[in-house]
Every structure is written in structure tokens, then in C-alpha cells.
Structure 1
Amino acid sequence: MANVWTVTQQELRSTLRDRRTLMSTVLVPLLMIPLFTVGLPLLLGTLFGGQAQTRQTVGVVGELPPALKSQLEQDSKSGKGVRLLPVGDPTAAVQQGDVDAALKVQTRLPSEAGNSGTLQLFYKVGNLKAESGAADKVKSAVSAYNDALVGRKLAQLGLTPTLLTPVKLSVVNASNAAEASSGALAFIIPLFLLQFILAGATAAATDSTAGERERGTFEALLATPTPRHTLLLGKLLATTLTALTAAAFSVLGLSLSAPIALLVTPAGQSAAQSATQQAFGGSLVLGAGGLLAVLLTATTAALVISALLLTLSLFARSVREAQTYIAPLTLLIVLPATLLQFADFLRASDALYAAPLVGSMLVVLDTVKGALSWPHLLLSLGGNVLMAALLTLLATRLFGREGVAFKK
């Protein structure tokens, strides 16, 4: 172990000399994770919620009833109304950006219930700005206008509006506090956690294998009396420590998200902005148990990634070639992590939790949603440790080959 630690120290010193590696290992995860867990929901809350406080322009073709015009233009508790502008071609006006949406009266609109009329709404479907702004306000105003007409008609007949809704349905959020605060962007957290671990380990793994082969120092290293498996374990330990550093700062960045959110959230934030920020996960809070689970998961994931990177790098003749081997690993992390946004449709089995790295992503997602199962955590840790051990044995075998030090 003394020899292993000596090799590890040498590799760590070599890694620490590279400022870019330090940036990707320490500063990037420490800054980026709070930025995405707090800044992105805050930005989305400002953009979507801010649409309610902005007066959009809506084109009009035809004559609107005065009450409906007033409903469209008035300020409400949820935000400002819209500005009505006469236009000739509603489709062209929307496409050219002259208006945010447009209304066309196809048949005369009624001023009392009992008659009917047709009103067309033109806007760019799929455009989030239009859907959360002008289109949403128009739909709300037309719905309120219809309700007012029906209410007046029922009052004339001596009836109450409750006659039309004999059954009232109220929605109660059954999510726990963690699920409610994790929001729709919770799947991003496992993605960034593993990506930063991968980034932190890549430089150390490639430099200590393919880099030494490229510089021609591998021969001198293998000529020493130190056993090859000792050299390999030292390199593996150095790579893992670098990856663990990235993991630790990633978890630290995650733990700082809640206090940062309290500091940067505007005091006068509107209800719409607060609701949107909450929906996207801008108030994520993890307890001590959750942070411990994430840290343990990140540690074993770092072991797997380090062993895998070291194994792949042993096949490469240069750092550039090693990077081409490692590039697909990014997809192997990004694709499963991206699919986690559909995790609500997935009934995860114990086998899936035992799958290396995939189980880690599921555990981190469960943790931020407050649904962590300790048996699932143990399965994930065990799967990662087993895979790391198998990859280490493979790397040891490759490192023992006669031509490992030479370019082929």
C-alpha cells in the first residue's frame, strides 16, 4: 500500500498542475449545479410568470362585444390584460410578429346566453411565449365572458350557476414536500452529477496511461521493481480521488442550492412566477440523510467511471485516441439520464437499481423526490462496487501485457 500511495501521489501532483482539470473538478460543479437547480427554475419562473405581468398585443378582425373587449383589456389579479389592435389578415399578422395572437369573429358573437357565435384564435401553437401569454389570457377572458353570460341568464330564470355543476371536483396535491419542491427538472440533477464525475476523472485517467505512453515515460515506469498491479492500483486510486473530488463538490453545490435560492428569489415575486418556479424545482431541499445517500452513490459511481476510463485508456496510443474511446461514455450517461424525465411511467425493478450507473441515477432521482428506499440504495451501491471490481481486474490484466508501454 505504501507503493500504491506513492504512485497515487505522483499522479495527483501531475493532475493538480493542470489548471483546466482543477476548474472542471472543483469550480465547474460547484457553480453549475446551483445555477441549474436554482437559476434555471428562477429564470423560467421569470419568463413564464412574467408573461402575466406583460400586456401583449392581440389583433382583431371583426366586432367584439363591449363586455368581451373589456374582459380582454382589463387588469386582473393574475396580471395585465391585452392590447387590442385591428388587423386585416390574422395569420399574416401573427407570422410577421405584428401581434402576439389574433382573434377573428366568424359569426356575430352574442351579448347574452341563448345565442351562439364563433370566434377563432390565431397564435403559434407550441410557442411557449405565446401560449403562456396572449393565448392563455384570451382563453381565460373568453371563458370568463361565457360564464358571465350564463350566470346572468340563469339569474333571469331564477336559477343559480351551481345548477350547471352539480359535482365539484377539487384537486389535492398528494406529493410529499420533497416531490413538490423537486419539480419537473429533477432529472437534470443525476445527469450533471455523473457528467461532472466523468469530466473530473477523464483528465487523470488519460494522462496517467495514454499520456505516459505518448510521452514515452511508460517504459521507465515499468522498469522499476514495483509490481505492475501496484502501479495500476496507484493510478486507479489517483483517478478515483480526482473523480471523488468532483463528486464531493457536486454534492456540495447541490446542498448549497436551497440557501442560494432563498438569497436570490425576489421578495416581490408574483404568484404566477412563484408557481412556475415551484413547478420547475426552484425550491429543492435535501436533508442530511438525502445528502449522505447522494454522496455514497456518487462515490461508487466515481469508482465505476474511474475504472472504466482507465481500462479504455490502456487501449489508446495517445491522449487524443483515448478521448475518442471515452466520448461515447457521455452518451451512455446522457441518454439514460434524459429518459429519467419519464420516470413516472417506469416501474423500476430491483434489477434496474442494481445496474451500474443507471441505478445510481435512479437513486439520486428518488432522493431529490423524497422517495428513497434504502434497499434500493444498497442494491445500487453493490452493483457499482461489483462492476468497479470487474473493471479493475480487466485493467490489471491489460496492464500486465508485455506491449502495454509501447505504441502499436
Structure 2
Amino acid sequence: MLWQVAQRDLLSTLRDRRTLANTILIPLLVLPLLTLGMPLLLGKLMGGQVSERQKVGVVGTLPAELRQILTQNRALGPEEQVQGVELVPVTDPLKAVQSGEVEAVIRVPQPLPTAAGAAQGRLELYAKLGNLKSQSGAYAKVRSAVQSYNRDLTRRALVGAGLSETVLEPVQVRAVDASPPQEKRAGMLAFLVPMLMLSFLLNGGMATALDSTAGEKERGTLESLLVTPVRRGEVVAGKLLATTLMSLATGFFSLLGFLATGLVAARLSQRSVVEAEAMQAMGGQLTLTLGSLAAMALVVMSVALLISAVLIALSIYARSYKEAQTYVSPLSLLIVFPAVMLQFSDFLKMGDWLYALPLFGSMVAILDVVKGQITLGHTLAAVAGNLLGTAVLGWLAWRSFGREEVIFRN
């Protein structure tokens, strides 16, 4: 009887093609687009700035050596070059940058030194500092050229004094990234994966939960179901099963997109230097071992049960489908706000109790899976917390189905 109730609700949901699109296409495409598409797009844009020769205005006189460093090309990789800039004279630095005539302007209020130690020169660099295009293009190239010019002057002064370059830096620091390989590949966008996966689980089960409770009350078909020889507990369990299956279907396709992202990223890892650096920083190269895949599956199934129980418990109180939507809409905020906080998870003291919190503990566990840090204990704690929450909410839903003032509230 439980499966017959679930099958009845599933057939009602699957008749809507829009529901199928939300269940299959969106989860399959959104996660790869964000975790892989954004790094590739950023790398492409930054790579375009590197290989493009921008116009830089000049007010005043630049030393010949500095002009040469600014305009010459520099090798970046085996087949890549950082293009120099094109220097053009301007009169008003602010107007030239704001109008888009040039991307940056170098203003030299006084002659710059051509040797280190004689005097300290100063130049002003005008650019739109809040503009990512300018930051990665003309502004970055001018800053790099000036630093290179300073090093050349300092090196010649030291050689002339019979000193080595190391006199300016007696202790050299070399940073070594001690992060696990998977955490390196996950990048800065790793915190988006738990938010997206839980959002997909919520959206996948929402249509079935609302239609099988508030929708049936509105159509008057819930009463006909309750007069059949089916126990109230079987009705609740059947509707919970149908909602969970739809939610899990969405979770499955989002997980499929997650794995496809890792495979595609692995093939794209041998790209240009700039694009490779962008992918490494932002993320996109996500892979799962069999153990982490099993942990992800367990956590996702328990979250689907919990979310389905929440949806059923809330929707049964609504008089209509529209009213039920107003009840469940704030649930997305319960996912988005904690998930956004996960980007600061490094500042949290990750105690074992945190994983036992329903829903939030699952987000932390999924983030650990993405970073390759998940443990069996944390997985079981997250699953247990979700199952406990499901049991409580399932009991509340069962009580609601046994109260006539709730069932006939419309």
C-alpha cells in the first residue's frame, strides 16, 4: 500500500514536463557551468588581457629603459607571451581613463632616476582599480614593468659596489602549499557545491510534496484517498517516499554533473598558463574516490529524506497549493545562508558535534567530500542527525494526517 500511494503521487508529478526539466536538465548543467565554466571564463578573459596590447597614456617623460620594459613582449610559457603596452601621450589623466581613451595613465610629476641610490622618484598610475579588466590588463602590466625597472637599477648599483643581490634579501621565503591534492583542485568555489546540491534536492522534492498534500486538498482528492483501506501511516510514508525519490533523482543528476565536471576539467588542465592558474584558484577540477562517492551518496540520501519530511509536514497545513508555496519558500534561505558561511569554514572549529546538526552538518560533510577530507565518523554523524530530524518531522506529519481540522482545513 505504501508503494501504491508513492506511485500514485509520482505519476501525478511526472506528467508535468517542467518538473522533469527541473529534475534532470538543470541539476545536470548548473553545477558544471558554475564550478567549471566560471574558472574557464575567467581564465579566458584574463588570458585575453595578457595577449592583448593595451593603450597606456603618459604625462611627462619616462626613462628610455622603462619605456622599453613597458612596450616589449615577455615570454609566459612555451607558446605564450605577455604583450607589452602601447604608450600614447595624454593631457588629462582622469579624463583619459574615465572616457575609455586609455586603460591606464602614467603621470611623472618629476624626472625619474636612472640609477639606484641617487634619489627616489615617484610616478602616479591612474586606472579604474575596481575594474577587473583593468586590474588584470594595463594596470598589472605597468606595475610589473616598474618593479622590473627597480630590480634592474638595484642590481646594477649592487654590482657596482661589489655586492650581491642577496644583500637585500638575506632570508628568502618559499611558500609550499600543504593542502591535500583534492583541496587544491577544489579551489575557491568549493563552498558552492553543498549549496547547489541541497538547493537541487529541495527543488526536486518540492513539486511532489506540494502537489500530494496541498494540491490534493485543493482538488478534493485527498479525502477519497483517506476513505480507502489505507492506514494514515502508510499514506504519510508513501508521500514521503515519493517526495524523497524525486528529490534523490535531482540529487543523482547533480552528482552526475559533479563527476562530469571533474572529467572535463582533467582534460582541460593542459591549457594556457593563465587559464590553468585561474582554474587552480577558482576550482573546477573536482574528483571523487569510491570512498568519498559513497560518503556523498549517504549524506545526500539522508538530506533528501529530511527535506522531504520538512516539505510534507509544512505543506499539509496549507489550504491551497499557492499557500503551501509561501510556507516552503523560506526553506531556500535555510540552505543559502549557512552555505554562504561555508566559505569561511576555515575559521570555524570543526567539532564532531557540528556534523550532527541536521542539514548544516550535511553541508559541512559535502564540503569535506569536495576537499577530500571526509571521514567515516563525520559521515555517520551527518547521516544520523538527518535521520533523527526526519523521524521527528515524519511523526509530526503523521499526527497532522490524523487530525480532521488539518486535513479538511480548506
Find the counterpart in structure 1 of residue 79 from structure 2: none
Partner of 1:367: 369
Query: Could you report, residue by residue, the CA deviation over 1:342-392 in whole angstroms, capped at 9, with x for unpaired residues?
Result: 111112222221111111110111111111122111111110000011000
Q: Following the alignment from structure 2 to structure 1, what is the Cα–Cα distance between the partners of residues 279 and 159?
A: 40
1:91 pairs, out of 77, 82, 94, with 94
**Partner secondary structure for residue 22 of structure 1:** helix
Look up the equivalent residue of 1:197 and give its one-letter code.
Answer: L
Report the Cα distance in structure 2 between the residues aligned to 1:93 and 1:373, rounded to whole angstroms: 57
- Contact 2:269–2:276 (CA<8 Å) still a contact in 1? no
Q: 1:77 maps to what in 2?
A: 75
Question: 1:24 touches 1:199 (CA, 8 Å); kept in 2?
Answer: yes
Deviations 1:140-169 (A, max 9, x none): 100000000111111222222111111111
Structure 2: distance between partners of 1:92 and 1:292: 59
Give the deviation of 1:252 after TM superposition.
Answer: 1.5
8 A Cα contact 1:209 1:314, kept in partner? yes
Identify the residue that residue 244 of structure 2 maps to in structure 1. 240
Q: Which residue in 2 is equivalent to 1:293?
A: 295
Per the alignment, in what secondary structure is the counterpart of residue 74 of structure 2? coil
Name which of 14, 30, 33 aligns with 2:31: 33
Name 2:234's counterpart in structure 1: 230
Alignment pair present for 1:252 and 2:256 = yes
Give the counterpart letter for 2:8 in structure 1.
Answer: Q
Residues in 2 aligned to 1:54 and 1:349: alpha-carbon distance in whole angstroms: 49
Q: How do 1:303-382 residues align onto structure 2 when only pairs under 5 Å count?
A: 303-382=305-384
- Tell me, in whole angstroms, the C-alpha distance in 2 between the residues paired with 1:48 and 1:335: 30
Q: Are the counterparts in 2 of residues 34 and 260 from structure 1 also a CA contact under 8 Å?
A: no
Aligned to 2:146: 142
Q: Which amino acid aligns with 2:192?
A: I
Q: Does 1:219 align with 2:223?
A: yes
What secondary structure does 2:13 align onto?
Answer: helix
Q: 1:121 aligns with which of 118, 125, 139?
A: 125
Matched residues in 2 for 1:158 and 1:318: separation?
87
Matched to 1:286, the amino acid is L
1:53 and 2:54 correspond? no
Letter in 2 for 1:20: R
Residue identity matched to 1:345: F
Could you tell me how far 1:397 is from its partner in structure 2? 0.7
If the length of structure 1 is used for normalisation, what is the TM-score? 0.96
Q: Aligned partners of 1:359, 1:53: CA distance in 2, in Å?
A: 45
Deviates more, 1:373-382 or 1:43-52: 43-52
Aligned to 2:113: 110
- The structure 1 segments of at least 4 consecutive aligned residues displaced by more than 3 Å after TM superposition are none
Q: Please state if 1:22 is matched with 2:53.
A: no
Conserved 8 A contact 2:104-2:125? yes
Distance, in Å, in 1 between the alignment partners of 2:155 and 2:261 is: 48
Pairwise CA distance, 1:266? 8.0
TM-score (norm 2): 0.95
Q: Which residue is 1:191 aligned to?
A: 195
The one-letter code matched in structure 1 to 2:6 is T
Contact 1:49 1:276 in 2 (8 A): no
Q: RMSD across aligned C-alpha pairs, in angstroms?
A: 1.4
Select 1:206's aligned residue among 210, 221, 235: 210
Q: Secondary structure at the match of 2:143?
A: helix
Residue-by-residue CA offset, 1:305-340 (whole Å, 9 max, x unaligned): 000011110111111111111111111101111111
Q: Give the Cα separation in 2 of the matches to 1:334 and 1:120.
A: 43
- Residues 255, 291 of structure 1: 8 Å contact kept: no
C-alpha deviation, 1:403, in angstroms: 2.7
Alpha-carbon contact 2:316-2:407 (below 8 Å) kept: no
Paired letter, 1:193: M
SS at match of 2:188: coil
2:182 matched to which residue of 1?
178
What is aligned with 1:152? 156
1:172-207 deviation line (CA, Å, top 9, x unaligned): 111111011000100111011001101100000000
Distance 1:106 1:293 in 2: 63
Partner residue, 2:104:
101
Identity across aligned pairs (percent)? 50
Q: SS in structure 2 opposite 1:185?
A: helix
Q: Residue 374 of structure 2: SS of its match in structure 1? A: coil
Q: Aligned residues, how many?
A: 404
Letter in structure 2 aligned against 1:182 = A
Say which is worse superposed, 361-370 or 47-56, in terms of deviation. Answer: 47-56
8 Å Cα contact 1:251-1:291 kept in structure 2: no
